[in-house]
Structure 1
Amino acid sequence: MAYFQYIPSNTPLKFGNNNDRRPLNLMNGNPLEPTVKNASITMDTIPLSELFTFPQGDVDVIITLDGQKFKGKVYSKLMALASPVWRKFLFPPFPRLPKNENDKNANEENWSNKSTNNNSPSNDDDGQVSCTQRNKDTQDQDIEAHAKSDQATCDCRAPVPDLDFTEDDSDILLLLFQIAHYQFDKVPECSSLDELIGIGMLCDDYDCAKLYAPWAKRWMRDNLPPWRSLHIELVHSLEWHKLEEYEAYIFITWIWKDCGFIKFAEELVCLLRSPETDPF
């Protein structure tokens, strides 16, 4: 599978009302507070921190736009449900690195108490440690119980105070956060191929492709030609200069498990291995 470098399209994603586009740009004023201007609705500027602040937000998210950092707030419970990766970030099974000596001592004390409570042996009726006598069925039950306890941990523990998303594209992040927070009316109706690749890369990184599949299927119909036409084009036209574009199609459909992906990929591999059609 080829690796793709996402280059944002000149046309920004369409946020908010489906009839308007909101280009992301830095306005005059506080350089640490980027703003968005929605010319089709109002001439007022909207701080990006407000766009990234969601109802019941309890965790700060740090976002980067044009080299400038700003903060928003997301709701940890919805983020944890949307992505298992985000869940581990929000409710880590390990202590965070301390910022000072007091935090370090507090972390050591808390985790020392947890270790003492969790590792205390439970004896059975014969006075022996019960874990030595567990069979496979019991181990399976333990695995299931651990999975449930992991979800329960999200319900009872406080999340981390902040998450760093400075290495991710802010346009794509806003789209993912909006869907995760049920703001479906703000999801764009269409997306360019470059944007679709960027969305796919983040969905793959954060293991949340299923959540965005309904919109991705629609965007794929707008950007991807039918598989059969691609096959005919390869066989008869031999436009090998378009192989990079074909790789992008395969990557996108692999992320969202398009039904035509497997058949086309198999045919493409056969064509590339054929001596008669070898472009190299």
Structure 2
Amino acid sequence: MISLKQVSFSYEDVPVIKELSYVEQNPVITGLWGRNGVGKTTLMKLIAGHQIPSQGNIEVMGHRPYNNQEAQRHLCYMQEDHPFSDIWTIRDALRFYQYFKPNWNQELAEELLETFKLPQHKKAKKLSTGMKTALQVVIGLASQADVTILDEPTNGLDAGMRKKFYERLLDSYDAFPRLILVSTHQIEELQPLLESIVVVHDGKLLLHEPMEEVRERGIWITGEHDRVNQLIGNQKILDESTIGSVKKVMIDVPFSDEWRELGRSSGISVEKAHLQDYLLQMTDNVQEGVR
């Protein structure tokens, strides 16, 4: 599907992507997560062939994506605030992508227009943020491209529309399995659909693991100071705070019945950390040179 080997990229001699290697061989829905400014957008543009790496090699379905029409037949990249033509209507946008995407599913496109209540004759430039995001989702899913990249596909969508997007994303993937890479800040909502997660930090690949493993990591332990210290032993601490005699720490281990029982027997609170909190603390520790 896609392969990046020792890829680097710089803007005016400022490194943005640094010797990043990433391979995804099978159809999968993957979440792309990272803090603002760590290189996520640049990484997506490199995979999509919008930019050429300063060094290293990128292949999409066996083709280098930059300035390569054959590679583009396998790709659909819907970036945040996608640049549609000012003169296009929604119908015009669909016709344009239908022409260039060989796996295009017009029936699905029509269904998605109904789902997101998009009027076909409305000008793209007059769409609200949420409606424009919905149009990007329609094109991304209806393209059925072998490698589909969706950048912040819930931007401006209300809770009801986000739920519909998640349902249609899963339905589309089940009907036509492919690599769908979703960059999102809504990781808590999206994580039940994800099979893997990619975390980028400071232009490097920090994490690429199955979602079922990552979602279980991170435990909050709260209780009397000495008891907490005794319970956690030499486990890696991602965050800690103390108020009086009460200490609260997050440790980087999978949540399990064993930890729950240890907390119960020690009179200490043991809770699963939210995925977003875990990822934030993990990247904080990278910045501090802990991990």
TM-score (norm. length: structure 2)? 0.28
User: Which structure features the higher share of helix residues?
Assistant: 1
Higher RCO (CA-CA < 8 Å; seq separation 6+): 1
TM-score (norm. length: structure 1)? 0.29
| Larger Rg computed on CA atoms | 1
